[in-house]
Amino acid sequence: MRIIGGKFKGRKFIPPAKNWPTRPTTDFAKEGLFNIIQNTWPIEDMKVLDLFGGTGSHSYEFISRGCKNVTYVDKFGGCVAFAKKMAKELDIEDDIRIYKADVFKFMASTGEQYHYIFAGPPYPLPTLDTIPDRIFEHELLRPGGWLVLEHNPNHDFKKHPRYLEERHYGKTIFSIFEELDEEE
C-alpha cells in the first residue's frame, strides 16, 4: 500500500499481519476517489472522520494533502496500534486523533460534525446498510458535507433520500451521500 498524493506521495506502508480483519481500498479506487474530493473540497480546511479506519490509508492520504483535522476510528487493536505507529513515523500526531472504539458507539456519542466522513466497513458486516441512516440520525455531517461509503455490488443505496451518486472501481463501489444545506 502507498500514499498516492501530497507531501508523502509514494510512501509505502505495510501492515504487520496478513490475516487482519481489513480490506484496504485499492490504490486505483483511492486515486479515483481523491480526484473527486480534491475537485470538490479545499482539503486543508476539512474536518474528516475515517470510520472502520483499518490501516489508516484514507487518514494518511488526507493529511498528506494538507488536512490538519482527521479522526480515525477502529475497534481492532492491531489496526489502532499500526495507525498510532504510522502517525508517529510520519510525524502527524498533531493532525490525527486515533480512537479504539466500536464505530456505532462512537457515532452515537461523538457529538461532533464533519465535512467529510469515509466509512470502509467489512463487506459482510450485517449492519452495513444502516450506516448512512445512523450518520444522519446522529447529525455527524455539517450542511453540505459528504459521507462516502465503500461497499460491494451486494448493496444498493440509490433510493436513500440523501444519496448523491456512486462511483465504481472494479467491484469496489463508493456511494456518496450529502447532508443538505440548511437553506434547501
Decide if 19 is inside a domain.
Answer: no
- Write down the pLDDT at residue 18: 63
Domain that holds residue 145: 45-154+168-178
Decide if 137 is inside a domain.
Answer: yes
- % of the chain at pLDDT higher than 90: 78
Decide if 28 is inside a domain.
Answer: no
- What's the CATH code of the domain at 111? 3.40.50.150
Decide if 31 is inside a domain.
Answer: no
- Per-residue pLDDT tens over the stretch 46-67: 999 999 999 999 999 999 999 9
**Count of domains observed in the chain:** 1
Decide if 65 is inside a domain.
Answer: yes
- Residue 32 has φ and ψ, to the nearest 5°, of -60, -45
* pLDDT at residue 165 tops 60: yes
In this prediction, residue 22 has a pLDDT band, given cuts at 50, 70 and 90, of: low
* pLDDT at residue 175 tops 80: yes
Please, what sign has the CA dihedral across residues 93, 27, 46, 72? negative
End-to-end CA separation in angstroms for the chain = 40
Q: Within a 10 A sphere around the Cβ of 7, how many other Cβ atoms?
A: 12
Decide if 107 is inside a domain.
Answer: yes
Decide if 104 is inside a domain.
Answer: yes
In this prediction, residue 29 has a pLDDT band, given cuts at 50, 70 and 90, of: confident
